[in-house]
Amino acid sequence: MPANPQLLTRSGGIRVLLLLLLFLLIDERPASASVVGTNLPAQSLTAERVAQLPASQRAAWLAYLRRSQTQRQADKAAFQAELKNAGLATPIEPPHGNSTRGIPLNRDAGWYASAEARNIADIIVSFQTPAGGWGKNLDMSKHSRQPGERYGPDNLSHYLAGGDFDAPAEPDWNYIGTIDNDATTTQLNFLARVITAEGTTPTAAWRASFLRGIDYLLAAQYPNGGWPQVWPLEGGYHDAITYNDDAMTQVMELMHNIFQGQGNFAFVPADLRPRAAQSFARGLGCVFKTQLSNNGKRTIWAQQYDPLTLEPTSARNYEPPDPCPAESTAILLLLMNDLPKPSADVRQAIKSGIGWLRKTAIYGQSWGPAANGRNLTAHADAGPLWARYYLAGADTPIFGDRDKSIHDDVNEISAERRNGYGWYTTDPKEALDRFDAWQKEHPEAK
């Protein structure tokens, strides 16, 4: 069997043409073969790469890198000192929980003044990293962090193999400070609710923790306005600008709420609001720069982008750097909901994204359990439905596997990945529904 062609370029039609030429030249399989490429690893943000930038851009990026490296070293040193003072040779493992378990954001306002809510707020404060963020997949309904207890549970993949994109450089210091899986933004939103709750007396610790968390997010923002998945940086795809799991859009939503200074965020000091407004504006600029194009026409967004080139990049082995409707939905909703006076650029970004979602919607099929696992099955009245990823330039569904192979048929990937990942989604329907109302609110956008 010949080698599979790699995904060599991300530029729409050129990429598709290269793939076709490579198949003709080196692939002996029939034209219906389902392997369409091999996923390539994301590049870390390094001083060597920054040195290749135009001279006018290097200073800001080098300063960012130094700040990240200094903070990472300080965080690790503080933890080692804590271990020593506690007389521990091995760190204590914290309770594991999916996403941000134990931090509810959907209770009635009065509940946030309860003893239960106040206890969770205290636990949140105790698990804040020295840099000011939080780890992911930590159950914060259990107990406050003890001296020598890790800031996050074991988040290592159970399927690591040689050359795996998910293999961390330092397994013992992984996701220590992240916006992945709703981390950090959820803790900050919860603290804001408890601080604001009527009938409770905010403690200085809650306020200080909240402000440290905002400073953490401001420090983590790249010079071009994007946010990495993990900060201080830990390398690999974690350094990429990350829309995956709505990470960056959740940070932008939080910044928007802070500079508005209303509701749960009325307590935020006045001098912080302009900083949040500037951060939001810079993030918006990054959103515009990263909207993908096909033959000069804007479409939607990929999950992650290289911080220096702003080209789409891979995440895990099975997550290719291609258009992603679910994450794009969150971006479109942010643009439609948080910008009451949308500029021409905003209006065009929204209309282009919605147009692409309408064009790629799948009808007459549903995604769900079947006798041999999850499958796409025909149902006359089903839809709309979208694939998780679409091949850039061709706008046809693609699917990744743990061996880094990219397929055009979900049934061709391993059973473990087919059943263990959300390859289809109905999320964009929310953006389409919101767009109908948005157009009525903004007739100038028609």
Residues with a catalytic annotation lie at: 181, 316
Closest CA to 242 of 137, 324, 170: 324
Tokens of 425: 């989604």
Per-residue burial over 210-248, b = 16 or more CB atoms within 10 Å of its CB, e = otherwise: bbbbbebbbbbbbebbbbbbbbbbbebbbbbbbbbbbbb
CB 138 within 8 A of CB 95: yes
Tokens of 53: 């930038």
Vertex 212: Cα angle to 181 and 259 (nearest 5): 85
Q: Which helix (H) or strand (E) holds 378?
A: strand 373-378
Vertex 445: Cα angle to 444 and 446 (nearest 5): 95
Q: What is the dihedral of CA 239, 242, 245, 246, to 10 degrees?
A: 140
Give the number of other Cβ atoms within 10 Å of residue 333's Cβ.
20
Distance separating alpha carbons of residues 274 and 260, to the nearest angstrom: 10
Tokens of 255: 């910044």
Per-residue burial over 270-284, b = 16 or more CB atoms within 10 Å of its CB, e = otherwise: eebbeebeebbebbb
Q: Which letter does DSSP use for residue 137 in this model?
A: S
Lookup result for tokens 């995956």: 244
Distance separating alpha carbons of residues 166 and 238, to the nearest angstrom: 9
Helix, strand and coil content of the chain, in percent to the nearest 5, comes to: 45, 10, 45
CB 137 within 8 A of CB 152: yes
CB 408 within 8 A of CB 16: no
Distances from the Cα of 257 to the Cα of 65, 153, 250, angstroms: 28, 30, 11
Q: Are strands 35-38 and 405-407 parallel, antiparallel or unpaired?
A: antiparallel
Q: Residues 105, 175, 248, 331: is their CA dihedral positive or negative?
A: negative
